Structure formats: C-alpha cells, structure tokens
Amino acid sequence: MSDLPGASETVNLNIQEEAHALSVTIGTYNEKGIDISKLLGTTGHVTLDPGFKNTGSTKSAITFIDGINGILQHRGYPIEQLAELASFQEVMYLLLQGELPNANQLADIEGQIKAETKAPEGIKTLLNALPDGSHPMGMLSVALASLPSFYPNALDSWSDETVRWETIYRLLGHMPVIAAYVYRRSQNLPYIDPNPELDYVSNFLYMMFGEVDPVIADALDTLLILHADHEQNCSAATVRMIGSSHVNLYAAIAGGNSALWGPLHGGANQKVVEMLESILADGGDSEKYINKAKDKADPFRLMGFGHRVYKNFDPRAKVIKAYADKILDKLNVDDPVLDIAKRLESSALNDEYFQKRKLFPNVDFYSGIIYRALGIPVDMFTVMFALGRLPGWVSQWKEMRESGDPIGRPRQIYTGASKRDYKPITDR
C-alpha cells in the first residue's frame, strides 16, 4: 500500500529504437497506471484497447475493487460493513460527500430528499402516453430524460452550488417515485403517491405495493447498498462520458440508465430468472444443466455465476445470500423456479469444476431470486438495480466535474478503404 496516492515513477516505451519516458501514477493500494495522455503528440502512436479493459479513464476516490481477492470498498469502507451496519441513505451521503454522516448530516440529507419525493404530475401523463407493454427500463429512461423539461434551471446547475445540490437531491428524491410509477404503469395499476411519513425504502415499497413489510424493507435497503456503486463499470463510465460534455445531470443519468439496461450489465439478473424458467420448462433437471455448463462443446452458460471483475467470490454475493435465505424463509414461497435456483447454487458451490474456476453465484444470481420471491416482474429487475446505482452515478458525475476532466473523445485505428475517387452512378 502506497503512503502517497498519486506519487509517480516512470517507465520507458521504446518505439523504433527511441525511448520515451512515461510517468506512472500509483494508487492507494499500489495500483499502477501508465500515463499515455501525451503519447500521440510525442510519438505519433495511440494505444488500442477494445472495451478499455486495460485503460484507466480517470483517477477516482469513490470505489476500490480488487477482483483477485474479492474486495469492494466505498471511500475505504468494506462493502460487508456498510451492508450490515449502514442504511442506504448513509451510503448515499458517503458516496457524495466522501465521509459517513453524523446524526445531523444524515437527518439533513434525509430531509432534503424527502422534500423532493413529489414528482411532477406530467411524469404520469408521459408514462400513460407510452404504449402498453413498454419495457420498464425504456419507460424509466424516457422519464429521466424528461426531467430537464420540468426543471429548466438544471440545464446549467454546475456553476451555482445551491442549484447543483437542489438538482442532485431532486433526482435522488424523484427516482424511487418514478421507478414505482413505472412499475404501476407496467402492471396497468393506479398510481400510488408517496407517503411523507415513511422512510426512503419503505416509501418506495408503499408506492409499489400499497403496503410495507419491515423484513422486506430491510432486505431491499441492503440490496440497494450492494448496487450503489461499482467503480468504472459500463453505466458509470457512460455517465462520466456524457457528463464530460457538460450536459445537465438528468441527461447524463438517463444515458447511464440506458447503458445499464443491457443483458451484459444490469440486465443480468433478469437473464438469471429467464434461464431458471427455461430449465423448468425443460423438465427442471438442474443437474442436466450443471453438466451442460461444464461441457465445452455445449453453448449453454449458467447466468449469474462468476463475474467479469471478481476472480474469486463476489463480496456482495456473500452478503446477499443471507438475505435471500431470510426472504425465502419469511415468505414461505412455493416456487419451482426458486427450487431450481437453490439446487443450482448447491451444486455449483460443492462442485470441483466450479470451485477450481471460481464460478460462484454472484450478486445478480441472488438479487434475481429475491426480486422474484417479492413478486416483482422480471422486466422490472433492472429498474431496481438502477434505483440502487443512482447515488453512484451521481457521485461519479460530481467527481468528474470537480476534477475538471476533459470531454471524452477516444481515438481509433482506421481499417476501412483508402482514398477513392467518386464516380457518377452511370459508371458504377
């Protein structure tokens, strides 16, 4: 661990027998990044890194991940401690401000957000105008992108700190309301407006279902914490990229929400349940599908096992597994799909093939099980994910603006046709 985060050393890059010294930035836990920001100007070369898997796009003080050892920390606090001891709104404050709040600070952010829970009536009109059967994530993106129309002062909120925080609190307050409206609209149910007497998570559940179970509220609060931020993932990087043009916060978040929709990102928990349903439709033989997953010649893959970042057990999965067990026990759910999930989990955790390859159930596997047990439709799963990820997105946007990051503009290596002369259509 470095005592001086950001301290630099240098490495030499040899191009055509000419050495070019490049500085190396060292992070808190001795992560090292070669600074190539001047590479094109000094060497005429760019780097090629499809998917940016080996490219650090920024320096950030929000979230640290060590995928090899299964570590996730927010502002230095282990996710296991935050999930067990903190509330979601404490984690919101931590991500946004850099420190855990004291009692007065927590009461202040709770009050600021609660004051912004009443979304514009026009949001209902907008959702009602969408076709029946619209995907909830599409509905959510539309609603988020519409917010600048309701709040024109948000278009240039960065220069005024008061307006900036008003814009942030409004988004944090509106998001659970809009997400609940999206659920009610998708089910063709009448909207339920927020109850100012309830806390953040309980109010969301009330607006969705008209009632609140404390055990479910506690589990959902933890689920939201587990999704709150995850470093420079696809949607967070999208928020930063869009935000780097200095567009308003709501537009940047709407873009991040659309990025989250994909099955390789936030849509993964939906794919988990769809996989379980397909196994049930094929007879429900979980061992058959365990064997298919181990067969290299078989295209079948177990969704919700392993992780692109974590090469060991997903630290969030350790926490959420306990809540999954608690929820299933509390609700006494009789669901053959959930039975298949538990059999798959048991087989994978005890199978040498999966142990050797570190293919353990991840947070998407367990969150999908919990959402299904709560009776939340599969196509709403990613909306739930977005609700949890919102404070991370806002924190990433805020840090990017505070750091003065330049507008994002990746380079490319052109591989198309060389110069050609235009020919009249009669000569082609």
Catalytic site residues?
307, 364
Which DSSP state fits 152? Answer: G
Q: In angstroms, how far apart are the furthest CA atoms of the chain?
A: 78
Contact 283, 274 (CB under 8 A): no
What is the C-alpha separation between 344 and 108, in angstroms, rounded?
Answer: 45
Contact 145, 254 (CB under 8 A): yes
Q: Where are the beta strands (DSSP E) in 35-178?
A: 63-66, 71-74, 77-78
Contact 144, 127 (CB under 8 A): no
Q: Which amino acid is at 109?
A: I
Q: Which amino acid is at 279?
A: I
Residue tagged 């057990």 (tokens): 313
One DSSP character per residue, 191-225 reads: -----TTS-HHHHHHHHHHS---HHHHHHHHHHHH
Residue tagged 């709104």 (tokens): 89
β-partners of residue 77 are: 74
